[in-house]
Structure 1
């Protein structure tokens, strides 16, 4: 009886051993295949990177003249270099300079060659060894209204202010710009927008190779700079709950409210907190813009102005920017300081005081309001 039972057990054991051997072989070959695939991909990737970093042709020293427009983003620069056959891939260039944390590319005309490596080209563009010196140089400060920027453009370039404003508001021209720049959307053409390009003309120094560049050349140089700056925050933009138009609108408010970098990020935190709680933003610079006059102090009557820009009358983010924000203010919108503050009050001396409750905020307002009254009186007397 025991013999008849023992024989099947042996057979079962042998079958299990055989199956185990088969499984081990399958696993072994799978591991080998996986190692080979990873190895092939690794070698391919290494060769691709090496090819992208090395010169396109070490023996081709012919000079190729390349123009990098003012305000060009790394995407734009990479595209130009790829089109000229100087690099293997514009996309690789964009990710490589981001990985290397390379910045400070200079606009201008360059003499490059296909015998240069990618790192050599990058250094050339950073050092700014251009073929010509600019004929016209002027600076646009941060926080200006578009009307003020238009005056600067007219004064510096010799164009008539009416011609500048007409170009800035030309619908057909604006539609062409929307098709050309990612940063521009149909939001700028909404009914109720005062100036479509308000907030999009980046405040910075501008160098032009012509003494009297066209109005369009100046506008597009400024838009290119905005696109380049905004493009640096691609990942944060994707994570944001707000559109680029809304981000620039909030940045413009911060620019008008804050005098220091520290306050920009704190004020951004307050604005975000108010928006998340469904509270009105109630910021004075939007009232001044709604009225169309710079205000030393905001009165209760001013806050009743019926305008989509007036954050005392309408909830949420205004219809559009109220000034041209700098990079720090744009970044502040995307990296707001986490805080419990819901209110802030700017004193006459520039200090900003923050509070979590309306009672605290109102007490601060009452304590320091006379500073502004006295300051206004002193200014009127000095005039």
Structure 2
């Protein structure tokens, strides 16, 4: 898509509007900001971990994960040394697991290259695994008081609406332009609060789904979509490609004490996590029986489980499932990718992604987000 300049607004008018955003925004933020654990104690490590967790994840879902993560891994050294399975277990249910692996890799970089201290310089932060311009801007501004913008989807939306800018916000050049536009208008004494206020405005007032709460907005006197009633047209974003659909049959194979798990490959989707054995098709009862025979086992009892769907960024899994009771698992031991795990050990030691939540529930265990839903702060 060809990049366009903001519609119905000339450069001078655009700058005039941007010059007006900070004072009222900060006053509103001081009165309206949510109390969040990483805001109340904004150390570099806590800001960094929280910002990575908040990518693609709602604030309320992150809170209990953040508290548990900080309790178990309170500093960069602990993160750098944690076992991969334990790290992924701490992350279980948050999704986008590469975020957790990148956190550990970056922590190891910090230990070896920066003496265990988080670098404060924006350009140095960008050298760390998994840190892009948004996270570098957030950490450097919030934890180190440096005037660097942190532009995420919330910020792109509120600025597009403020200016009635019809540019495609999925275009990286548009993000870079917004960063350049915001840098000179950031208050030098409160850059972190300015960035957080923009994000807060997008999260609580200038909403992504549904009508914005314009009566609560500190910019209501000059925001162009508010004045013109055109919020539904902004922001503009190129349509995503259709996701591919994959059919799977999930097999919860168990004895009275043990369950069969498989560890996924070290690279690719859900890398390094544990799953139930699966067939890459929607299988009938007889097809499952044949599959089991090839593994050397025979079902004592089989139960059809409900269908489930899980959506990833670029694909969807359409799943059906069977719970299979067998007398013994030893014949399946010829497949070295399979593990026979005590049921009670799964909840404690084996990270199973939320994609399989509909089936792990039949083991009467809680994993990931299921467990966190019962957590109070």
Name the TM tier (shorter chain). Answer: under 0.3
Decide which structure has the larger Cα Rg and report it.
1
Bigger strand fraction? 2
More relative contact order in 1 or in 2 (CA 8 Å, sep 6+)?
2
Bigger helix fraction? 1
